[in-house]
Amino acid sequence: MIFQRSQSESRCLASNLALWFVFLSSVPPAINAESGQITRLPATRTFVPSNVTLEIDSRWAAGNGYRPVRCTVSNWPAGPATTDRTFQIVLEPRTGQYRHYQPIVQGYVELARGQRSAQIELYCPQSYWWNSVQVQMFEGSKELREMRSSAAGVMAGMVSGQSPWSEAVPSLLFVSSHAGRSNVQLAGKTDFPKWDRLVTSVPGYPSHVVSQDQYRVAADDLAVHTVIASQARSALVEPHRLPDRWLGLSTVDFIFISASDLAMLSKRHPRKIEALKQWVEVGGNLCIEDVGNAFELIRQIENELDLTSSGTHAGVWTPLPRKACEPLFRQSLKLNSTGYRIPAYRKADPNLIAPRVQPLAMGRVFIIADGAQWSDPSFAPWIFNSLPENRWAWYKRNGMTLNRQYNDFWNWSIRGIGRPPIFLFLTVITVFAAFIGPINFIAMKRWNRHYLLLVTVPVISLVTTVSLFGYGFIKDGVGTTVRRRAYVHLDQASGRMQSWSRQTYYASMAPYRGLQFPLTAAVYPILLESGSGRQSPNPHLLQWTGSQRLRRGYIASRTLSQYLVVQPTKSTAANLSIAVSDEKLSVRNELGGSITHLLVCDEQGQLHSGHKLAVGETATLKPTDGEDIATIMREALIESFTSEIDPGLVRRTRRYWYGYQVDENLPEPDDVTSLMEHAIADVRGGVIKTLRPRTYVAIMSSSSLVSMGVAKAKDRDSVIVVRGRW
């Protein structure tokens, strides 16, 4: 009896140990401080016909932009591959909503002979919460069915009901080498700054972790990590998890990193630090902490980000005004009306060290003396309140929307293209009806040739049809026409360039290969309406190969298609060659297009102007006071934005989507708020005041500096503003 009891207890103990082993093995090593998860396919590996496994890591901060999804293909059983193999991975994000832009994404990964695994980062456009991602995997033309059946419900987004989607609430990314630890390792540690103060102070983030009037003090890193993990718009990642291309950072509005982690990233991961810098250059906001109470590490940061070669100089960091220590966004983003509580703030501590800021191309770099200052509730809104709204709200920074009605679609149409010839059509139809009916019948009756009606009716119909099609081809052509409005920031000294462009395409016959852009270009479709109320029968297809190919659903025949394209370039050979001899300034146009107006400021601050420089042409500029050329540039930019809009085509409507009311309380999306339009407005309004020695401004009608989706597309009424430094 005693033996039986001990045997029963042993079985129970063994069973409990087995359950605990299974439970612990299924628990992730750290809290998922972002939306998404890691999924391994196939689920059961007792029999894998393809002899490979697939791991999908979709963890990241949610937001509008390109979400990085890491796909790792490994040989199975574990060991080196015995032959070269190429796989195609297809990801289809699903939202459960019919009005959102979520294309199917394709990419290729090569598992070379001798390799154990191969990885690829697929950048998937996101404009709403992902409920799931449908996965398919091919080797050649053969589909690996075990991957598809196991991956039908890969969760890659946030569970609905936690927070409504918004294009105005900023997404936050925290980078720390202390991230990725388990719960036990996080408990009791205080390595993280008090980022929970920041996260819980942003309107639009659920504030259930704090009381209404005061913050709860985070006792350790586990508490800070838990607050960040509860928000799908925020993420806490290790430096090595940053993407290799800036597109993977496009869903993020602010990045926070310590000076030590930035130094480590610069030494060990040069591609990631380059991606981080490009993200800042096109409008991102980078916050660097623990620079020292006296900002001792400024020179180190300038070298790591290469700020001195980007036209800035050491010591130009501007302290933020102390009046910015106010309730966060209280004066602008009034999201508290949607039910979110804005915590009360006490008066700012006078001992707080003001952050400093320096522009980097179109973005901003902030430095913070000590990350421990986040513990003070008044420190959290300091950086945010010092920025204009179009710096942290996605729809204002880009001047467009992917979720709401966009009434400015017609502001950049192509003049004389795609307009229906209504009066001509009515005339042709009237003449056709007269000839095919009464005139034809009377003529055949007079000639007594009624049987010829069987011939004349089809002939007249054929001639009319061919004439209409011929008129369309003659008027609109057989190729693709594009109209571009762009701003280019070109630093010839460092070879770095950033471009923002709004591009409208009209194709008489849609290109067979679709649109094709470089791998570093972010392409956002500008839609008149974000959805049609039903599932699209022709979803968008994005293919990542040696370039970014927008294959299906992006451009249709005889229909206007419009895009916002943002692209940073690390090095470029295009420039404006400037030479000074005998007190005369001569230039050679190597900017890849025709220059209509040019204003150059030499080393002494003297202004020189020129007009109509063809590609490769050399000309001597004339000294000027700048007033005349500034007036000409202003008039040219104003005239270029005037569109031939048919009043009957423009609908000033506003659509409300029930259940997603956050952004509906905000102003309508307007292209005037974008960083591109603000930069062009500076040229239009006061180009003389903004020019510095060794800088220039050029207005061009076309240029290869701005990438186009169709290589041989014809420019029509385009305007490209180039602001350069030489």
Q: Is the peptide bond before 42 cis (omega within 30 degrees of 0)?
A: yes
Q: What is the pLDDT of residue 111?
A: 95
Q: How many other CB atoms are found less than 10 A from the CB of residue 119?
A: 12
Residue 32 has pLDDT above 80, yes or no: no
Rounded Cα–Cα distance for residues 287 and 361 (Å): 16
Give the CA count within 13 Å in the CB-facing half-sphere of 13.
6
Q: What is the pLDDT of residue 406?
A: 83
Site of tokens 């102007």: 609
Residues 6+ apart with CB under 8 A from 462: none
* Mean pLDDT across 9-21: 39
Strands lying side by side in the sheet with 575-581: 575-581, 584-590, 618-620
The pLDDT confidence band at residue 212, using thresholds 50, 70 and 90, is very low
The pLDDT confidence band at residue 336, using thresholds 50, 70 and 90, is very low
Q: Is-contact 504 517, C-beta < 8 A?
A: no
Helix (H) or strand (E) holding 11: helix 2-26
Q: What is the pLDDT of residue 722?
A: 95
Q: Is-contact 165 128, C-beta < 8 A?
A: yes
**How large a percentage of the chain has pLDDT more than 90?**
40
Strand 541-544 with 104-111, pairing? parallel
Q: What is the pLDDT of residue 394?
A: 93
Residue 501 has pLDDT above 90, yes or no: yes
Q: What is the pLDDT of residue 500?
A: 96
Rounded Cα–Cα distance for residues 505 and 556 (Å): 9
Instruction: Output phi, psi for 321, to 5 deg.
Output: -65, 145
Mean per-residue pLDDT over the chain, rounded: 81
Q: Which of 88-92, 93-97, 596-600, 621-625 has the lowest mean pLDDT?
A: 93-97
Rounded Cα–Cα distance for residues 294 and 317 (Å): 13
Helix (H) or strand (E) holding 8: helix 2-26
Site of tokens 């090595």: 240
pTM score, whole prediction? 0.86
Mean pLDDT comparison of 190-204, 292-306, 640-654, highest-scoring range = 292-306
Rounded Cα–Cα distance for residues 415 and 386 (Å): 40
Q: What is the pLDDT of residue 90?
A: 94
* Mean pLDDT across 522-536: 69
Q: What is the pLDDT of residue 171?
A: 92
Residue 682 has pLDDT above 80, yes or no: yes
Residue 157 has pLDDT above 50, yes or no: no
Residue 289 has pLDDT above 50, yes or no: yes
The pLDDT confidence band at residue 264, using thresholds 50, 70 and 90, is very high
| Residue type present at position 393 | A
Rounded Cα–Cα distance for residues 668 and 651 (Å): 14
Q: Greater confidence, 481 or 313?
A: 481
Q: Greater confidence, 698 or 688?
A: 698
Q: What is the pLDDT of residue 26?
A: 33
Residue 344 has pLDDT above 60, yes or no: no
Strand 719-725 with 480-491, pairing? parallel
Tokens of 262: 């930035």
**CA–CA distances in Å: residue 181 to residues 33, 269, 371, 621, 643:** 11, 21, 20, 62, 56
* Mean pLDDT across 528-551: 73
Q: Greater confidence, 442 or 245?
A: 245
Residues 6+ apart with CB under 8 A from 456: 440, 444
Tokens of 345: 């703030």
Residue 152 has pLDDT above 50, yes or no: no
Tokens of 468: 């209409």
Q: What is the pLDDT of residue 659?
A: 43
The pLDDT confidence band at residue 322, using thresholds 50, 70 and 90, is confident
The pLDDT confidence band at residue 656, using thresholds 50, 70 and 90, is very low
Rounded Cα–Cα distance for residues 390 and 658 (Å): 26
Residues 6+ apart with CB under 8 A from 503: 482, 483, 484, 562, 563, 564, 565, 708, 709
**CA–CA distances in Å: residue 207 to residues 231, 329, 399, 611, 665:** 10, 15, 29, 58, 19
* Mean pLDDT across 48-66: 92
Give the CA count within 13 Å in the CB-facing half-sphere of 125.
22
Rounded Cα–Cα distance for residues 521 and 513 (Å): 18
Q: Give the gyration radius of the chain's Cα atoms.
A: 30
Q: Greater confidence, 118 or 8?
A: 118
Residue 213 has pLDDT above 50, yes or no: no
Site of tokens 């207005």: 699
Q: What is the pLDDT of residue 14?
A: 42
Q: Is-contact 370 353, C-beta < 8 A?
A: yes
Q: What is the pLDDT of residue 627?
A: 83
Tokens of 512: 């067979």
Rounded Cα–Cα distance for residues 457 and 433 (Å): 11
Helix (H) or strand (E) holding 255: strand 254-258
* Mean pLDDT across 273-282: 96
Pick from 596, 630, 590: nearest CA to 701: 596
Q: What angle do CA 182, 35, 541 make, to 5 degrees?
A: 140
Task: Quote the crossing angle between the two packed helices 270-281 and 259-268, to the nearest 10°.
Answer: 120
Model confidence over 180-200: pLDDT tens digits? 888 888 998 889 998 988 887
Q: What is the pLDDT of residue 16?
A: 40
Q: What is the pLDDT of residue 530?
A: 61
**How large a percentage of the chain has pLDDT more than 70?**
81
Give the CA count within 13 Å in the CB-facing half-sphere of 635.
8
The pLDDT confidence band at residue 101, using thresholds 50, 70 and 90, is confident
Q: What is the pLDDT of residue 531?
A: 52
Q: What is the pLDDT of residue 642?
A: 61
Residues 6+ apart with CB under 8 A from 219: none
Rounded Cα–Cα distance for residues 632 and 126 (Å): 41
Q: Is-contact 571 554, C-beta < 8 A?
A: no
Residue 83 has pLDDT above 70, yes or no: yes
Spell out the long-range contacts of 592-595 with Cβ–Cβ below 8 A and sequence spacing 24 or more: 592/703, 592/704, 592/705, 593/700, 593/701, 593/702, 593/703, 593/704, 593/705, 593/720, 594/700, 594/701, 594/702, 595/698, 595/699, 595/700
Pick from 157, 122, 156, 115: nearest CA to 137: 122
Spell out the long-range contacts of 237-240 with Cβ–Cβ below 8 A and sequence spacing 24 or more: 237/33, 237/34, 237/59, 237/173, 237/174, 237/175, 237/176, 237/179, 237/180, 238/175, 238/176, 238/177, 238/179, 238/180, 239/175, 239/176, 239/177, 239/264, 239/265, 239/269, 239/272, 240/268, 240/269, 240/272
**CA–CA distances in Å: residue 575 to residues 201, 589, 715:** 45, 7, 21
Give the CA count within 13 Å in the CB-facing half-sphere of 329.
26
Rounded Cα–Cα distance for residues 663 and 669 (Å): 10
Residue 637 has pLDDT above 90, yes or no: no
* Mean pLDDT across 706-713: 91
Q: What is the pLDDT of residue 584?
A: 86
The pLDDT confidence band at residue 304, using thresholds 50, 70 and 90, is very high
Residue 657 has pLDDT above 70, yes or no: no
* Three-state DSSP string of 606-631: CEEEEEEECCCCEEECEEECCHHHHH
Rounded Cα–Cα distance for residues 394 and 572 (Å): 28
Helix (H) or strand (E) holding 544: strand 541-544
